[in-house]
Amino acid sequence: MSRHKEKKHRHDDDESREVHEQLEAADEGAAGEAGSGGSSPEAYEAVVSERDELKGKYQRALADYQNAQRRFTADMAASRDAGVERVLSGLIPVLDHFDLALSQQSSNVSAEQILAGVRMIRDEVHRALGGFGVATINPAPNEEFDPSSHDALSQLAVPGVEPGRVSTVYQVGYRVGDRVIRPAKVTIAPPQPTEPQPTPRVI
């Protein structure tokens, strides 16, 4: 729900509650006027008229609030369906590639062709995810370790990688915008061993 719709939804709820409270106050005032012997018929009629007016406002506000609730529910359902449709439209071509690959005769396909087909389908998946704003987190060796997007599994020394930096990637991560969906699982280079200090000679 957008901020504008959410604000309007709260406004309709507050207006309905306010009119309801005014209606209750008018009913109490009418009852008080009816119970006091010193009030004139004109004053009583004025209170009853005010009560009826507030009652009409309350009924209209309640109807507007219920209509807003129904519109909100319908908008949420439409947004969900549109999101599902957008995802499916991006993934259906990938399924077509899978169906095409599985329809091949295994005796006529080499291992190299199978690998090439898998790579093509993988690239198609990445293109589909990119259309939804999804980006991979795949740090290069010797890249600075970022705990907000990297998950360090262990330490592993790799030539040319400085201590505390990413040495290998076990599993690629994914993010949508600035939000990390899954951090990349990596190893980091261990710190350099400290050289033993010479023991002072006792004379």
pLDDT in tens, 149-195: 999 999 999 999 999 999 999 999 999 989 999 999 999 999 887 65
Burial 116-142 (b: 16+ CB within 10 A, else e): ebeeebeebbeebbeeeeeeebebeee
**What is the domain extent for residue 8?**
3-87
Q: Is residue 172 assigned to a domain?
A: yes
CA angle 170, 171, 177 (to 5 degrees): 140
Domain boundary among 50, 71, 87: 87
* Domain stops at, among 20, 54, 87: 87
pLDDT at 109: 83
What residue type is 61 in one-letter code?
A
Average pLDDT, the chain: 82
Tokens for 165?
Answer: 């930096």
Q: Whole-prediction pTM value?
A: 0.57
Query: What is the model's pLDDT at position 30?
Result: 53
20 located within any domain: yes
The total number of structural domains that make up the chain: 2
